[in-house]
């Protein structure tokens, strides 16, 4: 396991879970499944001491190193990462906001392609996750189930025959699984139907949150659809329920775009054109304005308004314009006003290239 991998190296390679082969994945950007597990006989991280957390860390790293598939994974101790580096990893969706506290004895194990990540001693002993592009929950479930089996052969998890897997947060008790799909929904947002979609999903036991999950606001018309509970339902049933809702939301989004094209065409073209103009010619650009404009530009690419742009380039922009990534690219700490100026410069250069 590589403990010397420079975190800045992540900047020089595209995110595999954001890459698309064509424009078919224009609404479902990416999918993720996280599994929460705790090791029997050891206090949960919230009440454990450093000796216990170090013991858990050794058990997990030994298990990963023994598996040839993940022996070249990258390892970071949370307390050795700067607050800026932790923010950078959060923007890449490799860690949670809870992990950003930098608890001593916590660590991140991540595969070189960034699809697989394991947070050790976050809220639970293990938070395993896999990310893939598009709506691909079933493939992810197959892969993450293999990782779960790998660990369960090395040490027993806390499991109750009635409740299922026990976790620090009561809402994760049961399967311990959080499955989510990130959607780009500018059409529904523009015509004002997004609140109805959020309400309807909530009635069906799903949550629709912002870019960074629970507690975050929607930015750039990006929404995460995920299960709210994990108790009393199998993993397959949860995935099936999410997929059913995703199909409906995508259908509504496509209908919203069709309505805009047919009944508000001038408005739509102006909205996309103005967004393109903002991105190409602004010299000061806030994160919110950039994300909203990139989402509009993304819709323009899908509508074939831009022959020189593709979704991969647009998806890369979603990541590059975020605060920690900007400062990594600049190679120095930037003030808020400096970030807005550098963000505009970066976007102008990327679009012109």
Residues 117 and 220 in one domain: yes
Are residues 284 and 238 part of one domain? no
CATH number at residue 14: 3.30.590.10
Last residue within a domain, chosen from 257, 288, 307:
257
pLDDT band with cut points at 50, 70 and 90 for residue 25: low
Is the pLDDT at 32 greater than 90, yes or no?
Answer: yes
* Confidence class for position 10, pLDDT limits 50, 70, 90: confident
Q: Which of 257, 283, 307 is the last residue of a domain?
A: 257
Domain final residue pick, 257, 275, 293? 257
Q: Residue 1 class from Cβ within 10 Å (0-12 exposed, 13-18 middle, 19+ buried)?
A: middle
- Based on the fold, state whether residues 126 and 17 are members of the same structural domain: yes
Mean pLDDT of the region 197-214: 81
Residues 52 and 34: their CA atoms lie apart, in Å, by 23
How much is the pLDDT for 209?
83
For 299, the domain range is 264-352
CA distances from 67 to 31, 35, 60, 154, 188 (A): 24, 19, 11, 11, 45
Answer yes or no: is 2 within a domain.
Answer: no
How far apart are alpha carbons 302 and 310 in whole angstroms? 8
Asked whether the predicted pLDDT for residue 15 surpasses 80, the reply is no
**Domain for residue 250, yes or no?**
yes
How many structural domains are present in the chain? 2
pLDDT, greater one: 172 or 11? 172
- Considering the domain architecture, whether residues 225 and 292 belong to the same structural domain is answered as no
Q: Are residues 305 and 222 both part of a single domain?
A: no
Task: Answer for the pair 60, 124: CB distance below 8 angstroms, yes or no.
Answer: no
Q: Look at residue 1 and tell me if it is in a domain.
A: no
Residue of 21 and 75 predicted with greater confidence? 75
The residue-averaged pLDDT of 38-52 equals 95
Instruction: Give dist(CA 303, CA 191) in Å, integer.
Output: 17
Instruction: Quote the pLDDT of residue 310.
Output: 81
Q: Are residues 140 and 72 in the same domain?
A: yes
279 plus 200 within the same structural domain:
no
Identify which of 37, 39, 73 has the alpha carbon closest to the alpha carbon of residue 56.
39
pLDDT the model gives residue 252: 94
Are 123 and 211 contained in the same domain?
A: yes
- Based on the domain organization, do 159 and 192 belong to the same domain? yes
User: Are residues 194 and 309 part of one domain?
Assistant: no
Nearest Cα to Cα of residue 320 among 291, 293, 278, 297: 291
Same domain, residue pair 196 and 293: no
Contact 314, 298 (CB under 8 A): yes
pLDDT band at 40 (very low <50, low <70, confident <90, very high): very high
Q: Are residues 198 and 307 in the same domain?
A: no
């Amino acid at each position: 396991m590589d403990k010397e991998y420079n975190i800045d190296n992540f900047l020089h390679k595209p995110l595999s879970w954001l890459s698309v082969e064509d424009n078919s994945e224009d609404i479902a950007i990416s999918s993720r499944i996280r599994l929460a597990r705790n090791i029997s006989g050891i206090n949960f991280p919230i009440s454990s001491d450093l000796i216990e957390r170090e013991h858990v860390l050794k058990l997990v790293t030994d298990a990963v190193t023994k598996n040839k598939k993940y022996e070249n994974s990258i390892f970071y101790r949370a307390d050795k990462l700067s607050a800026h580096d932790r923010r950078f990893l959060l923007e890449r969706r490799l860690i949670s906001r809870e992990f950003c506290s930098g608890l001593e004895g916590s660590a991140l194990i991540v595969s070189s392609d960034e699809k697989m990540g394991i947070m050790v001693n976050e809220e639970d002993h293990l938070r395993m996750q896999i990310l893939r592009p598009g709506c691909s929950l079933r493939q992810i479930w197959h892969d993450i189930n293999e990782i779960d089996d790998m660990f369960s052969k090395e040490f027993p998890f806390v499991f109750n025959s009635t409740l299922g897997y026990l976790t620090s947060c009561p809402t994760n008790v049961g399967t311990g699984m959080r499955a989510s799909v990130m959607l780009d929904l500018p059409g529904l947002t523009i015509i004002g139907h997004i609140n109805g979609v959020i309400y309807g999903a909530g009635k069906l036991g799903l949550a629709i949150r912002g870019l960074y999950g629970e507690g975050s606001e929607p930015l750039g018309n990006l929404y995460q659809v995920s299960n709210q509970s994990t108790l009393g339902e199998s993993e397959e049933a949860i995935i099936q329920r999410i997929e059913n809702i995703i199909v409906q939301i995508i259908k509504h989004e496509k209908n919203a775009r069709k309505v805009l094209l047919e009944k508000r065409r001038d408005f739509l073209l102006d909205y996309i054109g103005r967004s393109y103009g903002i991105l190409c010619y602004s010299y000061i650009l806030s994160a919110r304005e950039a994300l909203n404009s990139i989402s509009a530009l993304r819709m323009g690419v899908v509508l074939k308004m831009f022959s020189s742009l593709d979704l991969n380039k647009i998806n890369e922009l979603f990541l590059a314009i975020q605060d920690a990534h900007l400062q990594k690219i600049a190679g120095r700490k930037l003030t808020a006003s400096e970030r807005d100026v550098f963000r505009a410069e970066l976007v102008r250069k990327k679009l012109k290239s």
